């Protein structure tokens, strides 16, 4: 007894995976850069505006890593940014008189975008695959 097995669909899958592998790292970096820009768009209005310097100083840093370990840096080079983000002691004449509560504007913005990322990623990834002629349904 003999039978015939058709592996053409597996070959097609293998070819599709090769195409994805070649472009995926760039796709992921672009996606994370877009998400980081969304964070900046959210953090700026949450940043207290006294002179506008702190609000205007938010910037993207380096994109580092590849594969499973990619990071996008978001920073604010103003020397007092951490104090506004996390809070700080209030000292007058060398005596602590209170505590300034942190605004957590960056943390809140990152958390907000983080909740949206799975759905945004899925949509972008499907479009990424479709643009390469790969059916993901």
pLDDT of residue 132: 83
Number of domains in the chain: 1
Query: Is the model's pTM score more than 0.75?
Result: yes
Residue 91 has pLDDT above 90, yes or no: yes
Residue 3 lies in a domain: no
pLDDT of residue 1: 65
DSSP string, 44-77: HHHS--SSSHHHHT-EEEEEEEETTEEEEEEE--
Residue 123 lies in a domain: yes
Residue scoring higher pLDDT (126 or 4): 126
Q: Which domain holds residue 101?
A: 8-131
């Amino acid at each position: 007894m003999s039978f015939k097995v058709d592996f053409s669909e597996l070959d097609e899958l293998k070819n599709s995976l090769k195409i994805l592998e070649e472009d995926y790292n760039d796709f992921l970096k672009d996606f994370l850069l877009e998400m980081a820009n969304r964070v900046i768009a959210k953090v700026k209005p949450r940043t207290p505006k006294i002179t506008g310097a702190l609000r205007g100083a938010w910037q993207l840093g380096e994109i580092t890593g590849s594969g499973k370990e990619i990071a996008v840096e978001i920073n604010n080079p103003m020397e007092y940014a951490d104090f506004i983000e996390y809070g700080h002691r209030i000292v007058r004449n060398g005596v602590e008189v209170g505590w300034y509560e942190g605004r957590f504007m960056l943390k809140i913005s990152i958390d907000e975008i983080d909740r949206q990322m799975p759905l945004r990623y899925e949509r972008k990834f499907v479009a990424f695959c479709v643009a390469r002629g790969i059916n993901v349904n």
